[in-house]
Chain A
Amino acid sequence: MNALVIAALLLVLLTFSYQVGWSRSRKLAGNKSQHLHSRPIYHGVLAALFAVLPAMVIIGIWALFSEQVTNSFIVAQLPPETAQLSQMQLQAAIARVKAIASGYGVVGEPSATEVVAAQVFASYQQISFLAVLAAAAAIGAGGLFWAQRRIGPRLRARTEVEIFVRIALMACSAVAIVTTLGIVLSLLSDALRFFSFINPLDFFFGTTWNPRFQSAGTGSAGEYGLLPLLWGTVMISIIAMLVAVPIGLMSAIYLSQYADERVRNVVKPIIEVLAGIPTIVYGFFALVTVGPFFAAAGDAVGIDINATSALTAGVVMGIMIIPFISSLSDDIIAQVPRAMRDGSLGLGATQSETIRNVLLPAALPGIVGAVLLAVSRAIGETMIVVLAAGNSPVLRFNPAEPTSTVTVSIVNQLTGDADFTSPQSLVAFALGLTLFAMTLLLNVMALYIVRKFREQYE
């Protein structure tokens, strides 16, 4: 309710100040002897910005600090011994008062002091809300007054609005960067805490993964060798690529070079549907259909294949990645200039000779970039592996046996009761950091290669 009122009032302020700026500059423009630097619309926008932004700042500050102010106000209303309560009990007491004030009621009979505090609090809430609104309105009006006094033929309103636009756009892109940075920093700090328990050498080069689940502080912390998980990740990614790269690439070649437009218009969206299937669905497809199929097929030829294995997870993940490879390669092959293709066909090369000898070599750097991007997806993939790889973090080289990956181990360490002080859960951050570093490296490599390819024909 309050938020709605604030939004409505801000909107009114916005419209009003825009109108003021616009009409005032129109009046100036009507006077033929003066030539305005900027069109009235810019004066309107500038006036609106000057009025609304300060008002929003006031409301923003209130939103940030009102919680603390309110709480200390409530504590002040309650008997003095309340302040001596523990943090948790204090919170509970404050929540009781708030609940009574809002009329929702509380468990048990409210005490007399509580009722009084609630009444005072309710009126305080109204007054403070109105006060903030008044402050915002005053600041907004001040801003508007100042802005409309500035309006004159020489005011470079257009330039100033342009600066505002640039700052706003910059702020938006900063959000993405700051978020990434924050994630990396929090990963890093928690990973460092983990390394205060476990020697980094034991983590990066250990060959045993056995994080015994014990309550923190009882001595034995378990073993945290990364290698079995890393190997599982690498093996499953390799299997996935062995499935996805040939099939994806071939279908891209078919669609871009052989298929006529009608076929392309039907087949391309269907292939891309594969990319839209949730990975959990792939996961149980692997668990219920593909795994048992491989086990039965292995039985038939006398090979021992486990239903949940690196093979199952890798093959299904490969199917998931096919559309990724095929649509990227399709774009890249289409970027090879038509003149290359015509030159080869004009010499009497067949279509497949042209593809093999001219198109693919020319597109190769781009295709390598696409494959690296796909690899970093495979490395980060979780749901399929959780369900289909067998969750057995042991260093094994046979793809037909169960394995586990870095992502699966993160899931295992963080689901259930995690208290974030023991190495058992902190290890997840070290794993996450490793994963992040790997995919970052692959992405940087891929982008570098793709960019190099682009320069070739421009």
Chain B
Amino acid sequence: MDMIAGKIKLTSKTVDQSMNPLDVLERETRLSARDVTVHYGDKQALFGISIDIPDRAVTSFIGPSGCGKSTFLRCINRMNDTIEGARVGGSIKLDGDDVYDPNLDVVELRARVGMVFQKPNPFPKSIYENVAYGPKIHGLARSRTDLDEIVVSSLRKAGLFEEVKDRLNEPGTSLSGGQQQRLCIARAIAVGPQVILMDEPCSALDPIATAIIEELIDELRENYTIVIVTHSMQQAARVSQKTAFFHLGKLIEEGVTEDIFTNPEHKQTQDYIMGRIG
């Protein structure tokens, strides 16, 4: 019930078209993490991460490879549960609900927190079935027409509908890499999430496909809380309003994107941005 109420509130809000970068400070906090630690077996991957993630804005995690940014991202929708030997400590709250509360249903959490992966991973099914997959599982459509509507509107929101409207029955794997990634975004949107996590969504794509996805992310932030992990500092600067810099499993610095890139507080952040580490 709570979840549906949240969704209605979310979509009924008027959307501001041009967001002042500094407005991000005044946004409500959708996700808040406190002292999050992760161990893989004996190895500690994250050391006490605390961060607030604002609603309806793009937050980017940057940092060199192996710094823990993807690990932290996967804590938010508990995808680390699927990795054997992973242990998570601390707390992550989504709208006040503890994500790691034993009473919380992981299935419901993942319906609220969608995820887009590094490599486009459409299912070996038709384009239509790919998008309809989530709504079918969660019983979001009462009839075939309902389902059609969800599929079409999700594809529209992902900016893919015009390109695929005549071939919805062709396999999702027949699309180009950039189209596949937008199909995966449409698939995530179809479930009606509040938060979308993106794990280096453009790392397997060419510059043109990347530009299209970035534009899409910019549009999506009007309705969704977006967290994106990226290797590209230009991408973080282009699409995000808030940026967090990770290094060796620690959160070094976080803040308004403009500040981080123009006036970093820590030397490590500065070195990374200048290309001296990573």
**Residues of A that sit less than 8 Å from B by CB:** 260-261, 337, 339-350, 353, 357-358, 361-362, 456
Contact = CB atoms under 8 A, between A and B. Distances in A.
B119 interface: yes
B176 interface: no
A456 B124 CA distance: 9
Given A348-B111, A456-B124, A342 B79 contact: yes
Contacts of B84: 260-261
What is the interface of chain B mostly: helix, strand, loop, or mixed?
helix
B124 A353 contact: no
A347 B134 contact: yes
A346 B133 contact: no
Given A347-B187, A347-B188, A339 B125 contact: no
B82 A345 contact: yes
Contacts, number: 68
B119 A340 contact: no
A414 B84 CA distance: 56
B70 to A, nearest CB: 12
A265 to B, nearest CB: 12
A414 B110 CA distance: 65
Contacts of A348: 106-111, 134, 137-138, 191
Given A348-B110, A357-B133, A362-B124, A343 B79 contact: no
B137 A343 contact: no
Interface in B184-207: 184, 187-188, 191
B110 A343 contact: no
B114 interface: yes
B75 to A, nearest CB: 13
A362 B172 CA distance: 13
B93 to A, nearest CB: 19
Given A260-B84, A339-B119, 10 more contacts: A344-B123, A346-B115, A347-B110, A347-B114, A347-B187, A347-B191, A348-B108, A348-B137, A349-B133, A349-B134
Contacts of B122: 343
Interface of B: 77, 79, 82, 84, 106-111, 114-115, 117, 119, 121-125, 133-134, 137-138, 184, 187-188, 191
Given A348-B107, A348-B111, A343 B123 contact: yes
B127 to A, nearest CB: 14
A346 B119 contact: no
Contacts of A347: 110-111, 114-115, 133-134, 137, 187-188, 191
A343 B191 CA distance: 13
A349 B107 contact: yes
A343 B82 contact: no
Contacts of B133: 344, 347, 349, 357
B99 to A, nearest CB: 14
A343 B117 contact: yes
Contacts of B138: 348
A347 B110 CA distance: 6
Which 8 A/B pairs are nearest by Cβ-Cβ distance?
A348-B110, A339-B121, A346-B115, A348-B111, A347-B134, A343-B121, A348-B107, A349-B137
B184 A350 contact: no
Nearest to A337: B121
Contacts of B117: 339, 342-343, 346
15 contacts: A260-B84, A340-B123, A342-B115, A343-B117, A343-B122, A343-B184, A343-B187, A344-B123, A347-B114, A348-B108, A348-B110, A348-B134, A348-B138, A349-B107, A357-B123
Contacts of B121: 337, 339-340, 342-343
Nearest to A349: B137
A236 B165 CA distance: 50
B191 to A, nearest CB: 6
Contacts of B82: 341-342, 345
Contacts of A344: 123, 133
Interface centre among B109, B123, B187 (most CB of A within 10 A): B123
A260 B121 CA distance: 25
A341 B110 CA distance: 14
Interface centre among A261, A340, A348 (most CB of B within 10 A): A348
A346 B137 contact: no
A339 B187 CA distance: 14
B225 to A, nearest CB: 16
B94 to A, nearest CB: 14
A335 to B, nearest CB: 13
Contacts of B125: 361
A361 B191 CA distance: 22
Contacts of A353: 137
Contacts of B123: 340, 343-344, 357-358, 362
Interface centre among A260, A261, A343, A361 (most CB of B within 10 A): A343
A184 B115 CA distance: 57
Contact of A346 (B77, B108, B124): B77
B188 to A, nearest CB: 7
A349 B109 CA distance: 11
Contacts of B114: 346-347
Contacts of A340: 121, 123-124
Interface centre among A260, A339, A353, A456 (most CB of B within 10 A): A339
Interface centre among B82, B134, B191 (most CB of A within 10 A): B82
A23 to B, nearest CB: 54
Contacts of A261: 84
B79 A345 contact: yes
Given A347-B133, A347-B188, A348-B137, A361 B111 contact: no
Nearest to B109: A348
